[in-house]
Amino acid sequence: MRSQFGATVTSLLDEDPRTALVLAEISETLFEGALARHPNRALNVGIMEQTMVGVAAGFAMEGFHPFAHSISPFMAERPYEQLKLDFGYQGLGGTFVGVGGSYDYGAEGGTHHSPADVSLMLAIPGMEVLIPGHTGEVDGLLRATYANGRPTYVRLSVAANAEPMEVAPGRMEIVRPGTGATVLAIGPMLSRTLAACEGLDVSVLYVTSARPFDRSTLASVAGDAPTVITVEPCYEGTFTSEVVGAVGHRPSRVHSIGVPRVFIHSYGTPAELDSELELDAAGIRRRIETFLGA
Amino acid sequence: MDTTVGSLEEVRSLIARATGDEKHDESSYSTIDALWVLYDRVLHVDPAHPTSEDRDRFILSKGHGPVSLYALLAAKGFFPRDWLDAFMDHGGRLGSHPDRQHVPGVEASTGSLGHGLPMAVGAAMALRAKGLVDQRVVVLCGDAELNEGSNWEAILLAPQLELGNLSLLVIDNHSSSLAMAPWEARVGSFGWDVHVVDGHDHDALERALRTRLDARPVAVVADIPEGEW
């Protein structure tokens, strides 16, 4: 996903003179060509994330469509106030691309984890949030949103689904219809969720757009007595308010499977941590069955 | 004909119309001379076209104590003078921190310290990218505001980007608990061209604020001795 992000933004910098790119050291090598070709609107400010976002806001104030990028904790958490005020409060548009959500950098320890990124971004009024689940979805989502005048956080992951889906901002996809519970797989959780639901009579929906969130599709699939399970690559419960907003006017059961709200002190690959936290296919299956009483 | 219209005397009278924010009086009054010189003698701005591409940009990074800026903008015709009467009132457009979405002539919504200078660096880069070589960005910070680390990120960055179209105006009313002087040594060591002037001396302020170098940002420190605002 990170490589595709580099290719798409490099292409947009070449195509659209109103784009700008501000880096804080991370991924500089990915943009060597663009930085050389567009030195007045593509720059690496060094390791200063607050200023990275502030400089991007300065470009946005002048009518540019800026991209800013770092790994997720240094994109969503360290310059949070700049995202909230410089873009959110001021009503400016920009695209903020975080790579390595949750514990993608599992061996780096908690300083490099960011399971809170999606919650934090959703707490900024007007901030849109996209979570592609496959490299093949990255280009379309970026191109659909970069110039819309609104702030957008894009969460890229190391984990990916087996196949890309046709996705668009504000839309969720019905991957597998069923008659029982409705399972929402968020971003890179789709493939493992489909494996976990093998043989269960449940609907599986695929979500890449956390905001705008497609409440109407969820409400129509979930039916009159909704039982909704979310499988989230970020903190558990991140999507609960949107789910309740979609189905909460009817008596509903809602359950979240996601990253537990504790600091993770284990090291390892993302897959090893998935297994430890019951976020691999087997763990998700066990948790769905426990909730459904199967 | 009323000869005070648009004058510094009128600005002072307009400031008196805006009440309710006593805690920021020092902050407002210590900026008034520098703001007057900027808007009366230095900046190219047009009240009838406040978002014109060929304007100079001014960012009040130290968003507190904005009354002097509001009064100045009203006196220069950016918005009606009677907006000052509803300062901080429900339904009014002038808060105790400025909102760019409410106030013509206000470039940035500020209040949390340390945001304006990084944004000014971005705006200066953007002007260069658009080929607007005559336009410039001036950002006003307080001496205590410069305690914030984000400013020092931008102070390190701007000279390395060779931003000759950027000026940092520091109002040094000695409100910082930490020693900030000597400005020449501290800010100058990062590569800025630093001018420390009497913050009430209009001619000295004008000379310093008119300074533009090809590839080097300028810092103008307007010294306001304690208690003399």
- Report pLDDT digits (tens) over A230-278: 999 999 999 999 999 999 899 999 999 999 999 999 999 999 999 999 9
Nearest CB partner across the interface for A51, out of B109, B129, B154? B154
- In this prediction, residues B54-59 reach a mean pLDDT of 98
Nearest CB partner across the interface for B118, out of A40, A54, A63? A54
Transcribe B119-148 into DSSP letters: HHHHHHHHHHHTT--S--EEEEEETTGGGS
From chain B, the residues in CB contact with A91 under 8 A are 101
Residue A177: CB atoms within 10 A of its CB come to 12
* pLDDT > 90? residue B227: no
From chain A, the residues in CB contact with B145 under 8 A are none
| B114: contact with A, CB 8 A cutoff | yes
Structure-block tokens of residue B103: 């106030």
Residues A226, A253 contacting (CB under 8 angstroms): yes
CA distance B182 to chain A (A): 24
* pLDDT > 80? residue A294: no
Query: What pLDDT was estimated at residue B23?
Result: 58
A interface with B, Cβ–Cβ below 8 Å: 20, 22, 40-41, 43, 45-46, 48, 50-51, 53-64, 66, 81-82, 85-86, 89-91
* pLDDT > 90? residue B1: no
Q: Average pLDDT over chain B, rounded to whole?
A: 95
3-state SS class at B212:
coil
Confidence bin at B226 (pLDDT 50/70/90): confident
Structure-block tokens of residue B199: 């913050």
Residues A95, A69 contacting (CB under 8 angstroms): no
Based on the number of CB atoms within 10 Å of its own CB, is A81 exposed (0-12), middle (13-18) or buried (19 or more)?
A: middle
A231's enclosing H/E stretch is strand A227-235
| B54: contact with A, CB 8 A cutoff | no
* pLDDT > 60? residue A43: yes
Structure-block tokens of residue B134: 């005559």
Decide if A90 and B101 are in contact by the 8 Å CB cutoff. Answer: yes
Confidence bin at B21 (pLDDT 50/70/90): confident
Structure-block tokens of residue B120: 């000014």
Structure-block tokens of residue B3: 């000869």
Query: What pLDDT was estimated at residue A205?
Result: 98
> Tens digits of per-residue pLDDT, B170-200?
999 999 999 999 999 999 999 999 999 999 9
- In this prediction, residues B25-37 reach a mean pLDDT of 90
CA distance B195 to chain A (A): 24
- In this prediction, residues A66-95 reach a mean pLDDT of 98
From chain A, the residues in CB contact with B100 under 8 A are 90
Confidence bin at B26 (pLDDT 50/70/90): confident
- In this prediction, residues B69-95 reach a mean pLDDT of 96
> Cβ neighbours of residue A208 under 8 Å, at least 6 residues apart?
A130, A131, A132, A133, A137, A141, A165, A167, A172, A186, A187
% of chain B with per-residue pLDDT over 70:
97
Residues A228, A257 contacting (CB under 8 angstroms): no
| Nearest C-alpha neighbor of B171 from the set B68, B92, B77 | B68
DSSP label at residue A111: G
* pLDDT > 90? residue A47: yes
CA B3 to chain centre: 26
Based on the number of CB atoms within 10 Å of its own CB, is A4 exposed (0-12), middle (13-18) or buried (19 or more)?
A: middle
Instruction: Give the residue on B whose Cα is nearest the Cα of A48.
Output: B153
What is the distance between the alpha carbons of residues A171 and A157, in angstroms, rounded to a whole number? 20
> Tens digits of per-residue pLDDT, A109-156?
899 999 999 999 999 999 999 999 999 999 999 999 999 999 999 999
Confidence bin at A106 (pLDDT 50/70/90): confident
What is the distance between the alpha carbons of residues B36 and B23, in angstroms, rounded to a whole number? 22
Query: What pLDDT was estimated at residue A57?
Result: 98
Q: Average pLDDT over chain A, rounded to whole?
A: 97
Nearest CB partner across the interface for A51, out of B100, B127, B150? B150
> Tens digits of per-residue pLDDT, A189-208?
999 999 999 999 999 999 99
Nearest CB partner across the interface for A64, out of B100, B117, B126? B126
> Cβ neighbours of residue A240 under 8 Å, at least 6 residues apart?
A230, A254, A256
Decide if B123 and A59 are in contact by the 8 Å CB cutoff. Answer: yes
Structure-block tokens of residue A19: 């784009």
| Nearest C-alpha neighbor of A25 from the set A42, A49, A46 | A46
From chain B, the residues in CB contact with A56 under 8 A are 122
Decide if B108 and A90 are in contact by the 8 Å CB cutoff. Answer: yes
Transcribe A91-107 into DSSP letters: T--EEEEEES-BTTTGG
Query: What pLDDT was estimated at residue B2?
Result: 67
What is the distance between the alpha carbons of residues A27 and A232, in angstroms, rounded to a whole number? 26
Structure-block tokens of residue B173: 């009313």
Residues B221, B22 contacting (CB under 8 angstroms): no
DSSP label at residue B196: E
| B152: contact with A, CB 8 A cutoff | no
Query: What pLDDT was estimated at residue B3?
Result: 66
ipTM of the complex: 0.96
- In this prediction, residues B14-28 reach a mean pLDDT of 81
Q: What is the dihedral of CA B131, B132, B134, B136, to 10 degrees?
A: -120
Residue B97: CB atoms within 10 A of its CB come to 17
Decide if B161 and A43 are in contact by the 8 Å CB cutoff. Answer: yes
| B52: contact with A, CB 8 A cutoff | no
CA distance A15 to chain B (A): 15
Transcribe B52-102 into DSSP letters: -TTS-EEEESS-SSTHHHHHHHHHTTSS-GGGGGGTT-TT-S--SS--TTT
3-state SS class at A120:
helix
- In this prediction, residues B82-86 reach a mean pLDDT of 96
> Tens digits of per-residue pLDDT, B114-128?
999 999 999 999 999
CA distance B165 to chain A (A): 13
> Tens digits of per-residue pLDDT, B212-221?
999 999 999 9
Q: Which of A16, A61, A70 to mutate to test the interface with B (most CBs of B within 10 A)?
A: A61
From chain B, the residues in CB contact with A82 under 8 A are 115, 118, 150
Query: What pLDDT was estimated at residue A214?
Result: 98
Encoded amino acid at A224, one letter: D
